[in-house]
Structure 1
Amino acid sequence: MDRRQFLFASLAAAASPLAMRGAWAADTYADAFHQATARDRWLRAYGGIDHDVAAPSLRIEGRIPAGLRGTLYRNGPALFERSGIRYHHLFDGDGMVQAFRFTENGVSHEGRFVQTPKFLAEQAQQRFLQSGFGTALPGLPFATGGGLDRANVANTNVVVHARRLMALWEGGSAFELDPVTLATRGPVTWRPDLKGMPFSAHPKIEPDGTMWNVGAIPDSLAIYRIAPDGTLAQAEVLKVPGLVMNHDFAVSRDHLVFVLPDTRLDLDKLRAGRAFLEALAFPPDAPMKLLVVDKADLRQQRTFELPPGYLFHFGNAWNDGAGTLRFDYVHHESAGVLMDGLPGLMRGDAASMPPRSAVSMQVAVDLASGRVRTAAMKDVVEFPRVDPRVVGQRNRHLWLSTGMGKGLGTLMMNAVLRYDVESGKRDAFRYEPEALVEEHVFVADRASTREGAGWLVGCAYDVAYGRTSLNVFDALRLSAGPIARAWLPYGLPPGFHGNFEAA
């Protein structure tokens, strides 16, 4: 399967150094951003850092539960500037993996950059050597002469499977890390003919340890099934008409579930020197495609329509035993956050952030009749998580980040929320008036098998003090507030995703 160029070769050629001559003569993002931080100090969280960090013993308020032992791994973009040049999109920053270790002696923290070939080459020269997904830099190509792994920033998620710790990015290989030192071991190749193929950032691990993942190719989806022991059990490529931009998916007992926005690519914009992202368009009135794939036979596929919009993340999916597939995802009215909001964030333009409109969408698909029903929750949310013991099964609880109140809460997430999807009840906690809240991760209490028995663990950046806290909640009593907080002596750029590995 020589798809390791993933049909991206022609796209990369269009974004060659010759094409980049039309890019900006001078970069203004860095100056604009730093000037804006004097006015909107919360932007300082996105200034980035340029070195590894460590704190062997964090100051703790409250008491860490005795059953909470292990490591919370987090990942996200952290390095945004070199030699006065700033990336134009949040997704372009080099990935830093965080390890928060819970032991009987307390909580420690370590953050290390993933040593990708891109990072090492640019670190050696102290300047950017190529353009990014959302940043066109004059004279610098985007991932030519080596496939997309040349541009791999390993900045989106980090997962442990079969004792292997992997940093993940949308468009290329997983990078294996040492789980103790966080040292980078190198790219993961599942099979020789799959070298360099996209291995996306949102794998789904079923309760039996089977891991499913996908890789988006311009006109296809690569499907991976990894056995509980970490060996590749299956890899197939499914043809999907049109340009495929797929960030996340869901898995049920019987199906793989994809929601695919209508995506267009303007090659003329690439040739004119625009970034790959800037050459994309998402027609606002076009329905999204719901693709349902039979896990037992990947050739068995059905397509349905969902309302126009955009999405990043799923919560969970399950088959109800009566012929209905149920799942939830976070529905955005448009791709405005991706296309306008995150570039605006990088230049310090808070006014460019679109009004928050993302809501949890509950979907029921009658597989016999083809009828699709949707119901939107009222809260504006992102980053849904479920108890990992019910992935692919019926879940009652759904944890999310949300924004509450006025001020910063109208732009960014400042609270955590739990939905009881059966009763419709909600339980929430709002952080300090000026707090930037990341995805929070559910950690099961191994002393109980009851869904939801455990803790919700996640980071918040305190704007007033410029420091990050790690917070622990009783997962079923969020409104009671954190039962423990571990304070870092420094601030971390807000990350994307992570997972907990029990000791």
Structure 2
Amino acid sequence: MLRRNLIRAGASCLAGIGNLGLLQEALALGAAAGFSTTAPELAPLQGFSGAEAFDARDLRIEGRLPAGLRGVYYRNGPGLMARGGERYQHWFDGDGLVQAWTFGDDGVRHKARFVQTKKFRAEAKAGRFLLPAFGTSFPDQDKRLPVRSADDVNVANTSVMKMGDGRLYALWEGGSAYELDPQNLATKGVRAWSDDLAGMPFSAHPKVEADGMVWNFGTQSGQMVLYQISAQGRVLRSEVFPMPGPNVNGAAIGAAMVHDFAVSQRYLVFLLAPIGLDMQALRGGDSMLGSMRWLGADPTRVLVVDKADFTRRWVLEMPAAMVFHFGNAWDDGAQIRLDYVEAPPLPVVNERLRQIMVGERSEPQHSTPRFMRITLGSRTGTGAGLSQGRIDVQTRDEAVEFPVVDPRVVAQAYRHVYYPTAIDTGLRSGFNGLMHLDIESGRRERFCFGNEVVLEEHVLVPKPGSRKEGEGWLLGLGYDSKARRSFASVFDAQAVSAGPLARVWLPYWVPYGFHGKFYSA
């Protein structure tokens, strides 16, 4: 069992011993559940036991933090990978660990807590897995807990959102948002946005415009729900409708996996990859992910929705493409411009994620940037048929993921996109650098940490008082496989190639996460 409270970073000697002990205990925990690796960059995928509560103050700062960087960087990701000698089979399955990095006048503090979902509490009490996960099923599931709703298997592990009313949420695309205390990260419970939307899925990629307006979606059983929510958390509009999608076993089923979307001034845009859900396999005991079928001969459907009227929808088609993440979008009424990252087909992605979960490297299959222009024509009904229009796509070949933009330009015309990137990594897993792309000029700027570091998503934090897009800092996490510690790095977003202004070191490591947000003090 890992220690509930870790040694504070101020005692650097003892902190180093605590970090080594943490690593050794995690190695033992992982080995007991079938995880072993000779790849040092995969060590954080061992995960933790679920009993940890991290609180480290006076963190060591390498370099100099900007004086204007004040606030909290919240981050979410899979933190628990094994219980009772069993291990999740897919990275997406791990129970959510939310971190809070507080940047204040007195230094930097790090806190982390597991989200106490209904699933997490039941399994912690039992000391074993009781419910299936997105990519993991158990052959004796009939002897464990039954699944009656999506929230029974909600792991709250993907992202975070803090509303204008001060409420903080841990997000997972398949179920409800979980409210957390923004100060101590204690779990308060499931959030129902309204009585008629209780239990409806609320995706982990809400889009928040500069005025605080929130747009989001959820998908379930071939249906899509759309949300427009005020900055204070009040539902202004919602709509539920059937998704266009492929056929599996003779049944028309909407795209079975929709992770993200783009929002422009007038439209919501979804790229619905040709993924069907084999209900026979699901009923036969396969996991949700194991029941998904990649239908590469089918098109990816481009669903465009009018923000002013959710019933006004266009459906266009493009060649099959797997997309997890978008950067941003804008439109002039007739044309929509947006960027996204195209991933390899779903079976390739899943095989790689399964391999790393047992500590094995695999041949890298990288995601690459794309830039799309959609010219809308006439609609056909309310989304039931194909619409007229044109799609043009420009491609780039850099190995990237997790695109971000300046939060002040969400749903507006923009110029700058930022990504973690892989530069000459060979067979090594993960990203080792940061990339800034000026999409107007095509200019690219990069910085590489080298192959001992794995870099995660970095968000843009605007400089106080600035107005120009890109005037700010890039803030995100990384892991140094030689030091066996995690860190937060801060870059000048306008001078990425100059390297980090500062790195803030934890006295321990944390598992790799997915997404985060910064909220200024």
Q: Deviations over 1:223-242 (max 9, x none)?
A: 01101222111111122132
Aligned CA distance change for structure 1 residues 210 and 428 (closer, same or farther; 3 Å): same
Please report the RMSD computed on the Cα atoms of aligned residues, expressed in angstroms.
1.7
Alpha-carbon shift at residue 218 of structure 1 (Å):
2.0
> What one-letter code is carried by the residue in structure 2 that aligns with 1:402?
T
> Per-residue deviation at 1:153?
0.5
Name which of 334, 349, 365 aligns with 1:356: 365
| Cα contact 2:33–2:82 (8 A) shared by 1 | no
Residue type at the aligned position of 2:100: A
Where in structure 2 are there 5+ consecutive unaligned residues?
Answer: 1-29, 245-252, 378-387
Residues 33, 348 of structure 1: 8 Å contact kept: no
Report the equivalent of 1:42. 41
Name the counterpart of 1:224: 227
3-state SS, counterpart of residue 121 of structure 1: helix
Q: How does 1:110-259 map to 2 (within 5 A)?
A: 110-140=111-141, 144-162=146-164, 163-241=166-244, 242-244=253-255, 245-259=257-271
Counterpart CA distance in 2 for 1:176 and 1:31 is: 33
Partners of 1:275 and 1:349 in 2: CA distance: 22
Q: Distance in 2 between matches of 1:461 and 1:437?
A: 7
Distance 2:391 2:219 in 1: 25
Aligned in 2, Cα 1:390/1:45: closer, same or farther, shift over 3 Å? same
Does structure 1 residue 307 correspond to structure 2 residue 319? yes
Residue in structure 1 matching 2:422, options 400, 403, 425: 403
Q: Distance in 1 between matches of 2:178 and 2:287?
A: 25
* Range with bigger deviation, 65-74 or 270-279: 270-279
Q: Give 1:12's aligned residue.
A: none
Letter matched to residue 71 of structure 1: V
Instruction: Kindly state the Cα deviation for residue 43 of structure 1 after the two structures are TM-superposed.
Output: 1.8
Aligned-residue offset at 1:285: 2.8
Alignment equivalent of 1:414, drawn from 432, 437, 462 = 432
1:262 correspondence with 2:281: no
Alignment check: 8 A CA contact 1:408 1:434 kept: no
CA shift digits 1:142-161 (9 cap, x unpaired): 98453111111000001111
Contact 2:404–2:419 (CA under 8 A) maintained in structure 1: yes
3-state SS of 2:290 partner:
helix
Query: 1:56 Cα shift?
Result: 1.3
Distance 1:111 1:32, change over 3 A: closer
Q: 1:395 to 1:33 in 2, by over 3 A?
A: farther
Deviation at 1:337, TM superposition (A): 4.8
Residues 260-409 of structure 1: pairs in structure 2 closer than 5 A: 260-320=272-332, 323-351=334-362, 355-368=364-377, 370-407=389-426
In structure 1, the residue matched to 2:248 is: none
CA deviations over 1:73-122 (Å, ceiling 9, x no partner): 00000000111111101111100100000001111100100011111111
TM-superposed CA distance for 1:278, in Å, is: 0.8
Q: Is the 8 A contact 2:337 2:372 kept in 1?
A: yes
Gapped regions of structure 1 (runs ≥ 5): 1-28
Shift of 1:30: 5.6
Contact 2:33–2:86 (Cα < 8 Å) also in 1: no
Moved more, 137-146 or 263-272: 137-146
Structure 1 residue 125 displacement after superposition: 1.6
For residues 209-252 of structure 1, the C-alpha deviation after alignment (integer angstroms, 9 at most, x for no partner) is: 10001011222210011012221111111221323321100110
Q: Which residue of 2 aligns with 1:26?
A: none
**Counterpart residue type for residue 225 of structure 1:** Q
Cα-to-partner distance string for 1:37-70 (whole Å, 9 max, x where unaligned)? 2x22222110001212121121001111111000
CA distance in 1, matches of 2:298, 2:242: 21
Which of residues 490, 493, 506 is equivalent to 1:472?
490
Residue identity over aligned pairs, in percent, reads 46
Q: Which amino acid aligns with 2:260?
A: D
Provide the rounded CA distance (Å) in 2 between the counterparts of 1:394 and 1:473.
24
Q: Following TM superposition, by how much is the alpha carbon of 1:408 offset from its aligned partner in structure 2, in angstroms? A: 5.1
For the residue of structure 2 that corresponds to 1:382, the secondary structure is coil
2:430 and 2:182 mapped to 1: Cα distance?
Answer: 31
* Helix, strand or coil at the partner of 1:381: coil
Distance 1:318 1:181 in 2: 37
Give 1:133 deviation, angstroms. 1.0
- What is the distance in 1 between the residues matched to 2:32 and 2:113? 27
Q: Is the 8 A contact 1:161 1:230 kept in 2?
A: yes
Corresponding residue of 2:509: 491
Give the one of 452, 477, 481 matched to 1:434: 452
Using the TM superposition, give the Cα deviation of residue 31 of structure 1 relative to its aligned residue in structure 2, in angstroms.
Answer: 5.9
Provide the residue aligned with 2:15 in structure 1.
Answer: none
Q: Which one-letter code corresponds to 1:358 in the other structure?
A: S
Q: Secondary structure at the match of 2:389?
A: coil
Alpha-carbon displacement from aligned partner over 1:160-195 (angstroms, at most 9, x marks no partner): 112110000011100010111111111001111211
Q: Name the CA shift for 1:314/1:239 in 2 (closer, same or farther; >3 Å).
A: same
Match of 1:500 in 2: 518
State the distance in 2 between where 1:460 and 1:196 align: 34
Matched positions, count? 469
Matched residue type, 2:153 = A
The residue aligned with 1:106 is 107
Q: Structure 1 CA distance, aligned partners of 2:338 and 2:129?
A: 41
Mapped partners of 2:282, 2:230: distance in 1? 40
User: Cα 1:103–1:134, aligned 2, differ >3 Å: closer, same or farther?
Assistant: same
Query: TM-score by structure 2 length?
Result: 0.87
Describe the SS at the equivalent of 2:441. coil
Aligned-residue offset at 1:361: 0.7
CA distance in 2, matches of 1:408, 1:485: 26
Shift of 1:339: 2.2
Q: Retained in 2: the 8 A contact 1:32–1:347?
A: no
Give the corresponding residue for 1:10: none
**d(CA) in 1 for partners of 2:157, 2:176:** 12
Query: 1:362-403: CA deviations, max 9, x gaps?
Result: 000112471211001221110000000000011100001110
Mean Cα displacement is larger for which, 360-369 or 458-467? Answer: 360-369
- Please give the per-residue CA displacement for 1:313-339, whole angstroms capped at 9, x wherever unaligned: 010010035x21111111123113542
Cα distance between partner residues in 2 of 1:33 and 1:442 = 38
CA contact (8 A) 1:210 1:227 kept: yes
Kept in 2, the 8 Å contact 1:57–1:106? The answer is yes
Q: Give the partner amino acid of 1:93.
A: G
**Residue in 2 that maps onto 1:11:** none
